[in-house]
């Protein structure tokens, strides 16, 4: 197997060096007629119109694209309360407050959306009742990605302007991770829980200089968490980092071992602060087999601290501003490799990735279908 870590060829058709066996699920392909041409997809059932917030009329091609995706591939966005998605998700304009309260049920009907990242849990812990209200609004196959509270994942206590000021005594606390995050999410979401994501904010320099200590601290927290599978069969704990030092040759084996011991996986973070996808692959290979969890957060054109710039440029998030066709192709190849070998896939994309998360999801789904149709792993 040739080196897949090089920048010129970040993937091979066979990502893991062995062909997928017949026991692994294949993507459901669009039916073809007797001449080998793609058959016209069935026309979706017409949605009855009621007063209030309604879904837009998704065309038959979008429904066919959704039906072509493997059942174990779940794509979605970061949150859902965006008025600019009118015509893409919502039939007519609504306020952000209305969409926050009532939009999830509509969102979950979208042909391509099978997951969503609950991001508000990062700013304050949610209760089991909060999670249960979300779970009641989605169909049975839908799975949630949930961000852990910053109370647990920030090494520094944040001031009112959001900047870290002093050491956080609750950082990676096993007791608080269970009490404020894992237990209420499990209780409220139940089987609809997909990935619990501990996104560790950038560490201060003095902690980066002693990264093994933080890795050991992370390992203790992960090992103390309960198994998710008895209540959430598809549930997985994932760790996302925002410092490339975690992937350095000296520290990546320690990081990998902490994840393994805690029965957790690595969340592939596509963010301006992190190395390109290809350079994160060794950690995924080292944790194989297991599910794929990915969050595509911020286009690199804005720099590592460019959320405000992205928001200013991309709002109201109704079109693509900075397309990333190469990244779509690479990510689709990775998704297909995992899904074709029977592993669950959870991917969330932010509006800040390219400018419009629903359109980014559509492009990614098209690339996944191409990979499945070509039969490449």
Q: How far is CA 202 from CA 128, 195, 281, in A?
A: 29, 21, 21
Range of the domain at 368: 60-374
- Mean pLDDT to the nearest integer, 14-24: 44
Read off the pLDDT band of 173 (50, 70, 90): very high
**pLDDT above 90 for 142:** yes
Q: Is residue 105 part of a domain?
A: yes
**So what's the pLDDT on residue 373?**
82
Q: Is residue 306 part of a domain?
A: yes
Axis-axis angle for helices 60-68, 357-374 (nearest 10): 60
**So what's the pLDDT on residue 76?**
98
What is the pTM (predicted TM-score) of this model?
Answer: 0.87
- Which CATH number is 323's domain given? 3.20.20.410
Q: Is residue 12 part of a domain?
A: no
**pLDDT above 80 for 176:** yes
Q: Is residue 340 part of a domain?
A: yes
Please, what is the Cα angle at 363 between 358 and 368, to 5 degrees? 120
**So what's the pLDDT on residue 15?**
57
Read off the pLDDT band of 28 (50, 70, 90): very low
**So what's the pLDDT on residue 375?**
64
pLDDT digits (tens, 9 = 90+) for 303-313: 888 889 999 99
Q: Is residue 215 part of a domain?
A: yes
pLDDT digits (tens, 9 = 90+) for 30-56: 333 334 444 444 444 444 455 689 999
**So what's the pLDDT on residue 41?**
42
**So what's the pLDDT on residue 306?**
87
The residue that leads in pLDDT, 66 or 161, is: 66
Secondary structure (DSSP) of 51-64? SS--B----HHHHH
State both tokens at 249.
């040759």
**So what's the pLDDT on residue 26?**
32
Dihedral class, residue 261 (left if φ above 0, else alpha if ψ from -120 to 50, else beta): alpha
Q: Is residue 163 part of a domain?
A: yes
pLDDT digits (tens, 9 = 90+) for 322-374: 999 999 999 999 999 999 999 999 999 999 999 999 999 999 999 999 998 87
Please count the other Cβ atoms lying within 10 Å of the Cβ belonging to residue 376: 17
pLDDT digits (tens, 9 = 90+) for 190-243: 999 999 999 999 999 999 999 999 999 999 999 999 999 999 999 999 999 999
**pLDDT above 50 for 295:** yes
In the predicted model, what is the mean pLDDT of the chain?
88
Residues of the chain above pLDDT 90, percent: 80
Dihedral class, residue 126 (left if φ above 0, else alpha if ψ from -120 to 50, else beta): beta
Read off the pLDDT band of 161 (50, 70, 90): low
**So what's the pLDDT on residue 329?**
97
Please tell me the total count of domains within the chain.
1
The secondary structure of the chain in percent helix, strand, coil, rounded to multiples of 5, reads: 40, 15, 45
Among 240, 246, 198, which residue's Cα sits nearest to residue 221? 198
Dihedral class, residue 116 (left if φ above 0, else alpha if ψ from -120 to 50, else beta): beta
Q: Is residue 27 part of a domain?
A: no
Q: Is residue 334 part of a domain?
A: yes
């Amino acid at each position: 197997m040739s080196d897949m870590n090089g920048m010129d060829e970040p993937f091979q058709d066979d990502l893991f060096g062995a062909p997928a066996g017949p026991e692994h699920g294949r993507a459901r392909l669009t039916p073809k007629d007797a001449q080998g041409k793609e058959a016209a997809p069935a026309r979706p059932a017409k949605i009855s119109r009621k007063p209030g917030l309604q879904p837009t009329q998704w065309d038959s091609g979008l429904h066919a694209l959704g039906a072509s995706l493997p059942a174990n591939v779940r794509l979605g966005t970061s949150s859902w309360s965006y008025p600019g998605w009118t015509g893409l998700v919502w039939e007519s304009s609504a306020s952000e407050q209305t969409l926050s309260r009532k939009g999830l049920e509509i969102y979950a009907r979208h042909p391509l959306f099978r997951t969503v990242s609950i991001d508000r849990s990062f700013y304050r812990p949610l209760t089991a009742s909060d999670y249960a209200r979300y779970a009641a609004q989605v169909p049975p196959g839908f799975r949630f990605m949930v961000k852990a509270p910053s109370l647990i994942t920030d090494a520094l206590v944040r001031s009112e302007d959001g900047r870290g000021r002093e050491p956080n005594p609750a950082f990676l606390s096993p007791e608080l991770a269970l009490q404020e995050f894992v237990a209420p999410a499990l209780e409220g979401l139940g089987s609809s829980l997909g990935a619990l994501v501990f996104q560790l904010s950038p560490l201060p320099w003095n902690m980066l200089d002693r990264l093994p200590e933080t890795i050991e601290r992370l390992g203790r927290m992960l090992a103390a968490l309960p198994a998710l599978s008895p209540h959430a069969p598809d549930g997985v704990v994932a760790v996302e980092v925002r410092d490339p030092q975690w992937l350095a040759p000296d520290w990546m084996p320690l990081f990998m071992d902490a994840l393994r011991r805690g029965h957790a996986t690595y969340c592939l973070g596509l963010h301006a602060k992190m190395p390109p996808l290809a350079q994160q692959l060794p950690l995924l290979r080292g944790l194989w087999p297991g599910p794929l969890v990915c969050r595509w957060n911020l286009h690199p054109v804005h720099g590592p601290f460019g959320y405000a710039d992205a928001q200013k440029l991309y709002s109201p998030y109704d079109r693509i501003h900075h397309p990333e066709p190469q990244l779509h192709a690479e990510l689709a190849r990775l998704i297909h490799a995992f899904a074709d070998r029977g592993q669950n896939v959870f991917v969330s994309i932010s509006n800040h990735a390219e400018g419009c998360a629903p359109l980014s999801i559509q492009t990614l789904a098209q690339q996944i279908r191409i990979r499945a149709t070509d039969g490449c792993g």
